[in-house]
Structure 1
């Protein structure tokens, strides 16, 4: 159960308190909000549903947004928008404005420049995942560097239409026919393709024993293997590839984690730039008196601190859930935290309510995408802290809630969502106000350097950079968890199993020597790292396990005294297997064990007999 579910409802507040609140705040503020909304220029109204007006936290309906240029323009960011899939032959001024230069663009240009010097026709794959920018880059180069693509045949697998009589694999087979075994191609070729379709093509040709040279090159790319399976690459001088799936959207340095790409994309969406059609439409609406919650959410997203924290939260959920959030998915994510579902369904609504503010859309929109579903796990309302308790209490007892809210959010001049907030205060919706404030503070304040997430990021950085001091701290934590995982009857002993219901439990001695993956530890020379995985590999003696963020969070709970049950132990299977390997090693190497009688807490030392000629397998003595 979340903390905010325990908040008292309005009905649970005493009658006297209700009357006091009403006398102090309700009428003046409600009158002010109503007057302000009425004063706004009103385009001709269209009859609409009263569902929103009846919402418990919705103020008076303002101007209808059926003519909103901004709402129409911002839909460009939606995954379902036809404009999100850029054809290699089309590239408008807005796409050109939104372009962000990335290292993979430089790599692509260098390969194209090399191919232009080759007299023998070459084949180049631009491969990756859905929505990661392959088509965008091709269209950008065609618009801005047309000389690079002169003489190439370009096949964009994401946007080309297929024959109704042929499958995608058959079409690709036909396209690539000039580069089949024994053929003599006459023209350079570029094929932009998703890795899944390339894999299907590969399997089909392997079964038919065709395209052997091309399949040999695809093997050398090792794009179908995991990191552990990869070996030394080989090259063939007439095939080339750039792989968007290996692009990392974030990096880690000494100060923490960041994403220059996501931040620049977010800045371009919100910047007051002449070429930014989204911002221009937003400004045009406001000039025309069209004002909705969508416009206010966009205004909040213009705040640089909010941009920074939204991106940090996104990267955190990517690391925590090992997700891939492509460029297209990122734009869709931004759309979802600006435009509430109710406004999307019915554009005649203004959507004014606390539930539709950006902080709440970020942490409560579980049904809109996998990204936002994962984001709910980071909701600050899920954690318990003295500050949150103080905020909740003060909202219910403070004489001037509006001033208190402004002070909490460090905003002495203009409060974001001011009209919505005043209406909620006037109506006494203190529970909703508390939720909004706690979530807003999460976006307006920096991540604490001692948070579990920040610590994990520090450990990843130290692992790749060879930071022995930080890794020593991490190994101390892991060692403490080992002795609490199933319990420890005395120093240097751990229990073999969790069978606490039996009369006796067996414990084995362990001698622990820290161990890391030598191929990865201290492998980065630059000031920042772009880790290829979302975990670090470490352990004791000869046994290693993969420590990711979710497991680290759970191990910290155990370190702090939480006793995991059998289900939780089975869910943390990596650590459980690592623990069992240490137990088996001790059973094989050691000749003494500890038997503990649970009821009396009596300890018995069990040793293997030194003499080979004794009938007893073990010797037992009380210690």
Structure 2
């Protein structure tokens, strides 16, 4: 872009330029998406302003609160803050489906963003610059023929949709209608789609179709019904994290039980106030006034409040918390903010009820393995072959008749995702990513993930009116890279889910069997035989390149496709891609949450062994310690006998666990019965301890990653025999001699001897 503001930002603020161009690129084809991206860019700029003003703490606040604080503590002028607020309000309204004339609003935001960027450059980068005048966005640079094609296609689409940009009432929708393609339906899954954002006032036909019943919904239903019958005031806290489905389920209850919900006051966004001069804490103070200590027993109001755990914690600890000590005691007694599983059944004696979405996971544990009917059902809502499925109807009506049907990766991926075996593999991979990489996956993020699995945005620009012609011209390499098994692991930039999946790419698994196969694959002249004999693809999935000849680099990316596909839908016994440590951890997680101590003996012993060997190999019931300078000729150790402490195990008779703690808490005590604090062992630490047992020595990166465990080790070392005796062993000699230094307290003497 030939613009002095953009050119200046390129040096040091490329990410702002990238976001601005993304806003511009989706203006015409997806104005709603452009509005959402514009709001995000405005937030990014305000965070940069806060950083440059040495007010970094503001970057943890909401946009509204951050702008208010910038107004109080900086010289940022009112006119620029007003523009920030204008973008914020339009973005929030769009997110809740309250914007008419999306194209006009998108253009308005684009113009205002340019004003903000110009101001940012003049104030913080180059005070001597005179910003170029704003220019209306135009089509991306393309060949003359492509531009003409785009213009013709847009004319057709405008006619099909009765599009008018004069009244502002017949705006073009988020997706381009009139082009007869499955992607128009799939686009409803995107996070930038209006359908992806929850509004408690609306439960659209699409949301009704996509709704999947969860345990948390059934428990909330019961609480709401009983609260409605109560003659007391009732505050129901619907707690959790951003995007975990709180608003969706409240919207569902409104639609399913309108007469009951009509008796409740509802607020589904306690994190932010829409008023510029009001903080989220001030908003909550007003909203919850009738549930203050003074009024909670004097009314029979019913209030359903969706609130994130962080906001709840901030509120009860804020200056307003003194008015709500009853609420504060309830939160602490029920351990809502703690890592524990507490009963949340309706309490007739209480004016406050709760349900915590964080206690529920997207998967369950049963007989030592993971499963997720929820994720699998959600994928099925997109791919199941039934006439109630709007996606499948579009697939039948459009894909099967499309001129590109034999060479379209979108169609191929949709069919691939519809296979039962593939759904199970996707569930397995997602749960692995959740457990191994500790990501929190919301339903909103999950729907966007399904969309990305089907449509490769790297090679397919679905916003182009002539994208079908480009699909027909995809090169073989581009087609292969656009297939789901490759999308899954090669696009960490798409989202935090894809980033986590890239860490567990089957291509990175190395064992003797895999290495032998790679040699065989690379030396074979007929590599298609491996696919035909070992991969269970849907019909036609690789038909486009079956007759191609692959050499060199092309063979390497085909090898990646094979290994990833073999993990997802392979058969035979070519090689194993199993992660036995992960499977072992999941079994132990299940037994620990069930409190089955007889099945946990080996786990406690293994973790203990990893602890004792953390500082290196030594004698049984000894642990190495580090005294003074790092020694190369000797190692020093002390006696330390650890006993297992299972006092935190609680029996659970459920066969399938819907609510559980996602890590294992293990405890030990010394031979003197001194109880140590419990250690939280997640998969990462469990895996590392397994490596330590097998001779691995933790490095600086490991120690920085597991700071809490390092602190635990320091406390542990102080409980050994080092005050009475230590052992010194020679290293790296043909015959390593061992010595003991001990203190005789009775005679106040030290004794050094060889043993």
Question: Please, what TM-score do these two structures have when normalized by structure 1?
Answer: 0.79
Distance 1:242 1:487 in 2: 46
Matched, 1:509 2:622: no
Residues 78-93 of structure 1 mapped to structure 2, 5 A cutoff? 78-93=190-205
Distance 1:512 1:85 in 2: 52
Shift of 1:397: 2.3
Which residue pairs with 1:138 in the alignment?
A: 250
* 3-state SS, counterpart of residue 210 of structure 1: helix
Over 3 Å counting, the alpha-carbon distance change for 1:422 and 1:77 in structure 2 is farther
Distance 2:751 2:559 in 1: 65
* 3-state SS, counterpart of residue 537 of structure 1: strand
Distance 1:48 1:441 in 2: 42
* 3-state SS, counterpart of residue 399 of structure 1: coil
Which residue pairs with 2:684 in the alignment?
A: 550
Distance 2:498 2:222 in 1: 37
Over 3 Å counting, the alpha-carbon distance change for 1:219 and 1:575 in structure 2 is closer
Q: Is the 8 A contact 1:449 1:455 kept in 2?
A: no
Distance 1:69 1:427 in 2: 36
Which residue pairs with 1:331 in the alignment?
A: 447
User: Which whole-Å deviations, capped at 9, do the CAs of 1:77-106 have from their partners, x for residues lacking one?
Assistant: 111211112322222222112111122222
- Residue among 322, 330, 352 paired with 2:438: 322
Which residue pairs with 2:752 in the alignment?
A: 620
Matched, 1:417 2:533: no
Q: Is the 8 A contact 1:93 1:275 kept in 2?
A: no
- Residue among 415, 424, 433 paired with 2:558: 433
Q: Is the 8 A contact 2:727 2:740 kept in 1?
A: yes
Shift of 1:457: 0.9
Which residue pairs with 2:128 in the alignment?
A: none
Matched, 1:294 2:410: yes
Q: Is the 8 A contact 2:364 2:372 kept in 1?
A: yes
Distance 1:200 1:576 in 2: 29
Distance 2:486 2:349 in 1: 53
Which residue pairs with 2:656 in the alignment?
A: 528
Which residue pairs with 1:195 in the alignment?
A: 309
Which residue pairs with 1:256 in the alignment?
A: 369
Q: Is the 8 A contact 1:87 1:159 kept in 2?
A: no
Over 3 Å counting, the alpha-carbon distance change for 1:293 and 1:505 in structure 2 is same
Shift of 1:154: 2.7
Distance 2:228 2:683 in 1: 45
Q: Is the 8 A contact 1:322 1:534 kept in 2?
A: no
Q: Is the 8 A contact 2:271 2:280 kept in 1?
A: no
* 3-state SS, counterpart of residue 456 of structure 1: helix
Shift of 1:610: 4.7
Distance 1:518 1:611 in 2: 35
Shift of 1:202: 3.5
- Residue among 377, 383, 400 paired with 1:270: 383
Shift of 1:445: 4.9
- Residue among 186, 196, 208 paired with 1:74: 186
Q: Is the 8 A contact 1:463 1:471 kept in 2?
A: yes
Over 3 Å counting, the alpha-carbon distance change for 1:204 and 1:430 in structure 2 is same
* 3-state SS, counterpart of residue 485 of structure 1: coil
Which residue pairs with 1:155 in the alignment?
A: 267
Which residue pairs with 1:443 in the alignment?
A: 568
Distance 2:361 2:501 in 1: 20
User: Which whole-Å deviations, capped at 9, do the CAs of 1:147-188 have from their partners, x for residues lacking one?
Assistant: 322333333327998345544444444333344454555753
User: Which whole-Å deviations, capped at 9, do the CAs of 1:536-587 have from their partners, x for residues lacking one?
Assistant: 3244633343221111212222222333334434544444444444433222
Q: Is the 8 A contact 2:383 2:417 kept in 1?
A: yes
What is the RMSD of the two structures over their aligned residues, measured on CA atoms? 3.6
Shift of 1:595: 4.1
Over 3 Å counting, the alpha-carbon distance change for 1:493 and 1:202 in structure 2 is closer
Question: Please, what TM-score do these two structures have when normalized by structure 2?
Answer: 0.66
Distance 1:516 1:197 in 2: 35
- Residue among 444, 448, 460 paired with 2:589: 460
User: Which whole-Å deviations, capped at 9, do the CAs of 1:267-320 have from their partners, x for residues lacking one?
Assistant: 222112222222222222213315421221111111111111111111111112
Over 3 Å counting, the alpha-carbon distance change for 1:409 and 1:237 in structure 2 is same
Over 3 Å counting, the alpha-carbon distance change for 1:479 and 1:255 in structure 2 is closer
Over 3 Å counting, the alpha-carbon distance change for 1:92 and 1:397 in structure 2 is same
Gaps of 5+ in 2: 1-143, 149-175
Distance 1:488 1:588 in 2: 17
Distance 1:109 1:433 in 2: 50
Deviates more, 1:423-432 or 1:284-293: 423-432
Distance 1:421 1:482 in 2: 53
* 3-state SS, counterpart of residue 223 of structure 1: coil
* 3-state SS, counterpart of residue 266 of structure 1: helix
Residues 306-385 of structure 1 mapped to structure 2, 5 A cutoff? 306-342=422-458, 343-344=460-461, 346-347=463-464, 348=467, 349-350=470-471, 352-385=478-511
Distance 1:229 1:111 in 2: 15
Shift of 1:340: 1.3
Shift of 1:438: 0.5
Distance 1:203 1:298 in 2: 49
Residues 48-197 of structure 1 mapped to structure 2, 5 A cutoff? 67-157=179-269, 162-164=274-276, 166-183=278-295, 185=299, 187-197=301-311
Q: Is the 8 A contact 2:190 2:451 kept in 1?
A: yes
Shift of 1:602: 4.2
Which residue pairs with 1:585 in the alignment?
A: 719
Count of residue pairs brought into register by the alignment: 558
Matched, 1:488 2:613: no
Shift of 1:435: 0.6
Over 3 Å counting, the alpha-carbon distance change for 1:158 and 1:311 in structure 2 is farther
Distance 1:522 1:449 in 2: 31
Over 3 Å counting, the alpha-carbon distance change for 1:516 and 1:274 in structure 2 is farther
Gaps of 5+ in 1: 1-44, 50-63
Q: Is the 8 A contact 2:741 2:750 kept in 1?
A: yes
Distance 1:189 1:490 in 2: 62
Distance 1:110 1:228 in 2: 19
Over 3 Å counting, the alpha-carbon distance change for 1:170 and 1:463 in structure 2 is closer
Shift of 1:124: 2.6
Q: Is the 8 A contact 1:354 1:421 kept in 2?
A: no
Q: Is the 8 A contact 2:293 2:325 kept in 1?
A: yes
* 3-state SS, counterpart of residue 737 of structure 2: strand
Q: Is the 8 A contact 2:273 2:280 kept in 1?
A: no
Which residue pairs with 2:42 in the alignment?
A: none
Distance 1:156 1:569 in 2: 41
User: Which whole-Å deviations, capped at 9, do the CAs of 1:234-279 have from their partners, x for residues lacking one?
Assistant: 9863333322232222221214111221122122221122222222
